[in-house]
Chains A and B, each alone.
Chain A
Amino acid sequence: MNILELRGISKIYGQLSALSEIDLDVAQGEWLAIMGPSGSGKTTVMNIIGCLDKPSCGSVVLDGQELSALSADELTAIRRDKIGLIFQQFHLISYLTALENVMVAQYYHSLVDEKEALAALDRVGLADRAKHLPRQLSGGEQQRVCIARALINYPSIILADEPTGNLDEANERVVMDILHQLHREGSTIVVVTHAPEVAAHAERTVVLEYGKIARIVLGGDPSKAPEVGEACGAGA
């Protein structure tokens, strides 16, 4: 069963066509990587999948629900209930502790539950840093807080845009381990990355070029694996 179906998605900024005619399915429990050169439209796709932005045309079906007809408020509700976001810049609220940053997501979702938030921090190995402010945490630790926050409301799909872009190798490993664990537990994961070694963890990699799907590769490294481009039709 597909948790996400993109059909003929285009995004046009003025004259510039950031995405054109993208078709893409993501299966429940799949780990998908999106690669491509800078400016190829990776973040634009992420924004559309994450209900942060609306496509200029095309349809998005997330978890069985067609999104194009929804209002801004309804999209907010979808983000809240179905999507877990992990950012390259972490985006923790600077004046709140690690624990409070996780609880903020609970607060906007439904009700705060300190125990559960602590458990989420424990899961990413940060139980002892709960009372620290973001500036008192290392980049890797901040990213783990960001992951704990993304998980706290049991999202149907986890979206990560360059999750390891600001991390060193050791921290990259820690973060990838956490993603692996989530994947084993059945989470659907979409990761945008420049790094082939990060994409290598995925089951399938989509390569974007000039706003189009150039090819789709099974397994991690798109430079080695065989192309299966026709599987989802890059529309070109």
Chain B
Amino acid sequence: MIKKNNSFLLKILLSSIVRRRSRLMVALVGIAIGATVLLGMVTLCYDIPRQMSREFRSYGANMILVAAGRESLMMRADIENAAALLPPEKVLGLTPYRYETVRSNMLPYTAVGVDFAQVRKTSPYWHVTGQWPERDGEILIGADVAEFTRLVPGRGLTLEGRNKEQARYEKDVTVTGLLKTGGVEDGFIFMSLESMEEMTGEPGFVDVAEISVMASGRELRDLAEAVRSGQSRVEARLVKRVTQSEETVLGKLKTLVYLVTVIVLVLTMICVATTMMTVVMERRREIGLKKAIGAENRSIAREFLAEGLILGLLGGLLGSACGLLFAQVISANVFNRSVTVEFYLIPATVLVSALVTIIACLIPVRRAVDVEPALVLRGE
């Protein structure tokens, strides 16, 4: 029988909402907008660090590996051992660099052996005109070198030099492309590490390696520490400038997002409170009547709060759907990438909406409870 009463209460609450929906629309839209911004912002807040990490990576590697102690050269195997200490899914790219001084037409140049496939990941800002080298004996020349030597893609030249054992070597190479970075790279000649090993007859050596790790701040520092403590031949250093600016930007962005979210929630609360206040004013006669026929203050308060709860849940659900869309659109436009949704945020948003609505209803409910039953006979 009590169950019958509860289902009757639910029925009259729904009737009240459905048959008076135009009034409640304002509150519902307000809650939905609040929930939209809430879920959208929080989803972005979760996603932005991920997105930004990727974005920052495109400004270059954030960790470099150099020989530990007094050594100046590392072996390829040392690099591989060190890299194995990093979680593979966090490593976006790893480029080994080997430097040799070579001569061509009696002039000295710095030749750099790299992995061309990897360098595109660790140094995405490299701008190449012509072709990237694909075969042995193909090279990229820096823009300054090109200007100085008047070499263009397709032209050949001969490089010569001495290896560590002072043995002479010589290699014919072809220019396939020009590299422009605006940095020191513009003065270098680039070939594949394999080409350089073949040229010098000394395989295995590496001077330095750049790694692009998808991490920042503490996490990045911890990873570098893990490499340092995991083996002794290679030392991991962080590229300071990028990692720190990344942190500050993220921190400021998050603060901004939280601030906006709080403001929107407060606005939602005000919107709901004013709407519910109007609703209570409009329904004074109804409230008076209910009290006149014996409704306790408790029942009146419960009905309004329940109505607020239903509104809050409805608006929360509606807003969650819009919020996901909102986050998706922002992410697509700003980061060119779809957003990753934390699904537990949806029930959390609905809950917060309900809570905010209930809090907003507290003052109107007080007003409702204060209505005098005597007004029903006065015909106000």
Chain B residues in 8 Å Cβ range of A103: 8
Q: Which residue of B lies closest to A149 (CB)?
A: B293
A104 contacts the other chain (CB 8 A): yes
The answer to whether B377 touches A52 (Cβ under 8 A) is yes
**Contact pick for A52, options B16, B290, B292, B379, CB 8 Å:** B292
Instruction: List 7 other contacts, CB 8 Å, given A104-B293, A107-B5.
Output: A47-B374, A76-B295, A88-B379, A91-B376, A94-B286, A108-B293, A111-B1
In this complex, how many residues of chain B approach chain A with their Cβ under 8 Å: the count is 31
Using a CB–CB cutoff of 8 Å, the interface residues on chain A facing chain B are 43, 46-47, 50, 52-53, 72-73, 76-77, 79-81, 85, 87-89, 91, 93-96, 100, 103-105, 107-109, 111-112, 149, 153, 161
Binary flags per residue of B330-366, CB closer than 8 Å to A gives 1, else 0: 0000000000000000000000000000000000000
The answer to whether B2 touches A96 (Cβ under 8 A) is no
A47 to B376, CA, bound (A): 9
A104 to B11, CA, bound (A): 11
B150 contacts the other chain (CB 8 A): no
Using a CB–CB cutoff of 8 Å, the interface residues on chain B facing chain A are 1-2, 4-5, 8-9, 11-12, 15-16, 19-20, 285-286, 289-297, 299, 372-374, 376-379
Chain A residues in 8 Å Cβ range of B377: 43, 46-47, 50, 52, 85, 87, 161
The answer to whether A95 touches B15 (Cβ under 8 A) is yes
Chain B residues in 8 Å Cβ range of A100: 11-12, 15
CB distance from A176 to the nearest CB of B (A): 20
A103 to B7, CA, bound (A): 12
A73 to B378, CA, bound (A): 21
The answer to whether A108 touches B299 (Cβ under 8 A) is yes
Ordered by A's residue number, 22 sampled pairs between the chains whose C-beta atoms are within 8 Å are: A46-B377, A50-B292, A52-B372, A52-B373, A52-B376, A73-B296, A73-B297, A76-B295, A77-B294, A87-B376, A96-B15, A100-B11, A100-B12, A103-B8, A104-B12, A107-B5, A107-B12, A108-B293, A108-B295, A112-B4, A153-B294, A161-B377
CB distance from B337 to the nearest CB of A (A): 48
Q: Say yes or no: A85-B376 contact (C-beta < 8 A), given A76-B296, A108-B294.
A: yes
Chain B residues in 8 Å Cβ range of A76: 291, 294-297
CB distance from A217 to the nearest CB of B (A): 23
A72 to B19, CA, bound (A): 32
Q: Say yes or no: A93-B297 contact (C-beta < 8 A), given A53-B374, A100-B11.
A: no
A212 to B377, CA, bound (A): 20
Chain A residues in 8 Å Cβ range of B16: 95
Q: Which residue of A lies closest to B378 (CB)?
A: A43
**Contact pick for A112, options B5, B285, B299, CB 8 Å:** B5
The answer to whether B8 touches A107 (Cβ under 8 A) is yes
The answer to whether A111 touches B376 (Cβ under 8 A) is no
CB distance from A65 to the nearest CB of B (A): 16
